[in-house]
Amino acid sequence: MERHGSFVLQGNIIYTPDKDHFITLKNGYIVVEEGRISAICATKPAAAAALPLKDCRGKLIMPGFADLHLHAPQYIQIGMGMDDQLLDWLNRYTFKEEPKFADPDYARQIYPLLAEELADCGTTSASIFATIHPESTDILCDILAQKGLRTYVGKVNMDNNSAPALTEDTAQSLSDTEAFIKKWHKHPLVKPIITPRFVPSVTAGMMTGLGKLVREYNVPVQSHLSENKGEIQLVKELFPEDQYYMSVYDRFDLFGTTPTLMAHCIHLSEEEIAIMARKDVYAVHCPASNLNLASGLMPLRRMLDAGVKVVLGSDIGGGHTLFIPHEIVRAIEISKIRSIDHPEEAPLKLCEAFYLATKAGGSFFGQTGSLEPDYSADFLVVTLPIFQQDRTIEEQLQYFIYHGRAQDIEDVYVQGRPVKHTDKPAV
């Protein structure tokens, strides 16, 4: 009898236990018991006698992808205003789109489309910005929970320098945030994350209140950091006494007091990179967004060498794809372009970029993002064209990352439960 989320799956297994290696197992077995991986073996395990066996021979089995930075309300503005840089783009597009989520019915129409596409693309964990609106943010959480995706969701805080329709009363914003934390922090899959939009959007009073919530409820934090040169200049003007952009967050306990995600981190000095490493703050690299908004080329190799945890994000709608393999390729491309003028910065290898998108990203959520015992059974089954069947498993992964599509992802599991299932005939 099938226990919930308990089965054995046979297929071509590939994962990265560390950033420098792939491990592959041809037609190996993954034993899943109650949503966790209990064993990975080359020969048929004894457990297979008692559990249903899913035959995926010839297909790739890989960890699900982690998208550590995206804006749910921007799902419908993808591709808009890409001739602008960050601050103009925010004012001309984003700050006109996001007020629409004051209407919960609008959220009910849009957010299911995003949840569907995330699962379709094999994203099993994500950290998401909603909007300032409590009701729509709850709706987003309900939809993600129903879909079964492992997520952090932030009710965005904004009380400064924003469009009138997106400018909150500070006290109201803080009490809405506290209510949101209380409602979601015990949920097994969808959890709250404190989300000041970025330094220019929040007052010192707001950050003081958010820091208090961080300490009281021990919740993680996400925001943006050093994305665009105009933005950095604006932060200097708004907070002239702070040495660095990150010093502002840090001063209010929003920078590594609890697990922290900072999107972009492009224009950083060696000292700032060292502080990020010391404080264990994650840098979320968003390659498509950084190119679309002409923000810059993140010094990814320098950050890895300094010991910063780097992960990947789609940053839609600054980015234009939820399909993380495309971000993996773009991260590699950007690192190659950087290495032309910075020969000491070795380009990223595929296994490194894959690691950022799986095990490194997954680490923000606990034990997910790898195919190792005790990890959550969050993985994908990927089909390949017949003419790729004779290649090594590593070559098949290369093909999928560079030329695969969401349609090639046949099944997606989170905690051993299907969040996407298609019945394709075996090749």
**Residue ranges that bind Fe ion, judged by CB under 5 A:** 263, 315
The residue (of 62 and 110) whose beta carbon lies closer to Fe ion is 110
Interface with ligand GUN in residues 189-208 (CB under 6 A):
197-198
Task: From 67, 64, 63, select the one nearest 314 (Cα to Cα).
Answer: 67
Residues linked to residue 30 through DSSP beta bridges, in sequence order:
9, 40
The residue (of 315 and 408) whose beta carbon lies closer to ligand GUN is 315
Q: Is 90 in the site for ligand GUN (CB under 6 A)?
A: yes
Q: Is 359 in the site for ligand GUN (CB under 6 A)?
A: no
Interface with ligand GUN in residues 299-338 (CB under 6 A):
315, 318
Asked if 363 and 334 touch (Cβ cutoff 8 Å), the reply is no
The answer to whether the Cα torsion of 51, 54, 59, 62 is positive or negative is: negative
Give whole-number Cα distances, 335 to 264, 285, 349, 370, in Å.
Answer: 14, 11, 9, 24
Degrees, nearest 5: CA angle 328-64-362: 85
**C-beta nearest to ligand GUN: residue:** 318
Give whole-number Cα distances, 40 to 1, 20, 50, in Å.
Answer: 21, 20, 16
Binding string, residues 95-134; x marks residues near ligand GUN by CB under 6 A? ----------------------------------------
The residue (of 288 and 397) whose beta carbon lies closer to Fe ion is 288
Minimum Å gap between C-beta 86 and Fe ion is 9
Residue 90 binding result from ligand GUN, Fe ion, none, given CB thresholds of 5 to 8 Å by partner type: ligand GUN
Minimum Å gap between C-beta 197 and ligand GUN is 5
What CA–CA distance (Å, rounded) separates 54 from 258? Answer: 40
The residue (of 265 and 328) whose beta carbon lies closer to Fe ion is 265
Q: Provide φ and ψ at 231, rounded to 5°.
A: -65, -45
What CA–CA distance (Å, rounded) separates 352 from 360? Answer: 10
> Near ligand GUN by CB under 6 A, which window of 33-41, 86-94, 269-277, 375-383?
86-94
Minimum Å gap between C-beta 289 and Fe ion is 7
Q: Is 155 in the site for ligand GUN (CB under 6 A)?
A: no
What CA–CA distance (Å, rounded) separates 166 from 160? Answer: 9
Q: Is 415 in the site for ligand GUN (CB under 6 A)?
A: no
